[in-house]
Amino acid sequence: METYDALLAAIAPTTGQTRTILDPATGQPVGEAPVHTVQDLEQAIAAAQAAQPAWAALGHDARSAALLKAADAVERSAEELARLLSREQGKPLNGPNARFEVGACAAWLRAAAGTPLEPETVVDDGETRAELHYRPIGVVGAIGPWNWPMMITVWQVAPALRMGNAVVVKPSEFTPLSVLALVEILNQELPEGLLTAVSGGREVGARLAEHPGIGKIMFTGSTATGKAIIKSSADTVKRLTLELGGNDAGIVLPDADPKAIAEGLFWGAFINTGQTCAALKRLYVHDAIYDAVCAELTSVARAMPMGNGLNEANVLGPLQNRQQFAVVARLVDAARDSGARILLGGNPDPDQPGHFYPATLVADIDNSNPLVAEEQFGPALPIIRYSTVDEAVAMANALDVGLGASVWSSDPTEARKVAARIEAGTVWINKHGAVDPRVPFGGAKQSGYGLEFGVEGLKALGVPRVING
């Protein structure tokens, strides 16, 4: 276990250009991040290429054992990692936030290590025997976001390493310290050069996407950036896994119990203060229970404390950066100006330090309003009335994204019927955004392609090879 100060010191740059990272709750410095260059990236890729063959040769069992040791290392430094994450990203220590995220890192490492992947016999008829195997890709480039910087990095890194690849990680410019610290801890149990974080700007990300030494790119972030990566990767025909924007819909059926579902709805929408790709961002509620759902959800939201993440009482934090604060403020103001009813929030304190935007619920809003049609990625939830299930499904499916969705009902059979009609990669019943390392996860439409987690996630980090004969 490293102390918090020792962990910061271990990742502190000793040469080259640096950038001061500020706490989004206070505006105070958290630490200095290196500003790596394209040349640093080239060196990291070269080191990864050198380390990868020996790692691949170890086999699944030895690689899995190393990942289990890496999970132990994360747990030994869990509190220090959580504190750094809270200070840099803004999320509170408690609730489904910083400590939860660090715990998920260990859980996903163990899941990647423990998921079996056996050769598959596809034909064995006495004349032909064909087996499907997976071999390593080589070097994987992992480009992560600022909302769940540690957890999503592990989502990318753990299966890539398990499958025998080396990995070069490019963290978000907003949250590089968290990822650098996580990689520092993981490297306590990994061979030198196998896993490297390169904390650079857009030019580093662009070079990673086009680099001939990279066999696959894994990216979580905006749809616009995902499209740019597709174009950059085309000349080298890279494999891609893209988890892009969501704007997830939830449909509350008329038989639902408003009080019973209120807390689930709240955390589906407001986990990580709404800064989650697969969060609930559009809520469709039947006329018959609309007012009751609004009242119960408002009651839950009003009781959730927001503030500095290092305060143990808080469960909601600031937006991570001022740009995202501006997006949320613009969309809520547009909704108010259109005549929508603000049930709660919508009134940030201009004198409060940090990027705090209060938990906001907006009722009686048109489905075409920008707060509904655009992904707000923050603590503001529009609640839209509907009269028929057909109408609700049509509105839920109207956008060009489809990462996740949810159906809320007292009748699971009816909920599954509605879920089958929704165009999304995952549709949850009476919950939203509940990812599981055993269950494949990926988007539909412009929310990306490729699967993560479980056996399918491991396969996505390998090259299929058929042995026929």
Two tokens, residue 202: 């857009």
The verdict on 406 and 285 lying in the same domain is yes
Give CA–CA dist 191/173, Å, rounded. 26
- In whole angstroms, give the CA distance from residue 113 to residue 163: 10
Q: Do 331 and 270 reside in the same domain of the chain? A: yes
Say which of 2, 277, 296, 375 is annotated catalytic. Answer: 277
Q: Is residue 436 part of a domain?
A: no
Which CATH number goes with the domain that contains 457? 3.40.605.10
In this structure, the answer to whether residues 218 and 150 fall within a common structural domain is yes
Residue 417's identity, in one-letter code, is K
Considering the domain boundaries, does residue 440 fall inside one?
Answer: no
Together in a domain, 208 and 256: no
| 258 domain residue, yes or no | yes
The number of folded domains in the chain is 2
Rounded distance between C-alpha atoms, residue 372 and residue 357, angstroms: 18
Is residue 294 annotated as a catalytic residue, yes or no? no
Tokens of 378: 């923050």
Indicate the residue type of 107.
A
38 in the same domain as 76:
yes
Domain membership of residue 183 (yes or no) is yes
Residue 441 in domain: no
**How far is the first Cα of the chain from the last one, in angstroms, to the nearest whole number?**
51
Instruction: Extract the residue ranges of the chain whose pLDDT is less than 70.
Output: 1
Rounded Cα distance between 157 and 276, Å, is 19
Please tell me whether the overall predicted TM-score, pTM, comes out greater than 0.85 for this model.
yes
Cα dist from 384 to 48, 65, 115, 435, 452, whole Å:
50, 49, 41, 25, 31
How is 296-338 classified by DSSP, letter by letter?
Answer: HHHHHHHTS-BS-TTSTT--B---SSHHHHHHHHHHHHHHHHT
Tally of CB atoms within 10 A around 13: 16
Tell me, yes or no, whether 408 and 281 share the same domain. Answer: yes
The verdict on 83 and 40 lying in the same domain is: yes
Q: In this structure, are 413 and 365 located in the same domain?
A: yes
**410 and 283 in one domain?**
yes
Please report the sign of the dihedral spanned by the C-alpha atoms of residue 455, residue 456, residue 461, residue 465. positive
Structural domain of 146: 4-244+447-468
Phi-psi group of 293: left, alpha or beta (phi > 0 → left; psi -120 to 50 → alpha; rest → beta): alpha
**DSSP annotation of 441:** B
pLDDT of residue 320: 98
Same domain for 356 and 378? Answer: yes
pLDDT computed for residue 2 by the predictor: 74
Q: Is residue 338 part of a domain?
A: yes
pLDDT of residue 355: 98
Give the CATH number, domain containing residue 301: 3.40.309.10
Q: What is the pLDDT of residue 469?
A: 86
Whether 378 and 461 share a structural domain: no
Q: How far is CA 257 from the centre of its chain?
A: 30
**Domain annotation covers residue 28:** yes
Tokens standing for residue 246 = 């969501």
Query: Quick one: 365 and 293 in the same domain?
Result: yes
Task: Assign 64 to helix, strand or coil.
Answer: helix
Question: Amino acid letter at 400?
Answer: D
pLDDT in tens, 310-319: 999 999 999 9
C-alpha 253/C-alpha 286 separation (Å) is 6
Q: Which of 80, 243, 423, 452 is catalytic?
A: 243
Instruction: Report in angstroms the alpha-carbon separations of 195 from 44, 186, 370, 412, 432.
Output: 9, 8, 41, 44, 33
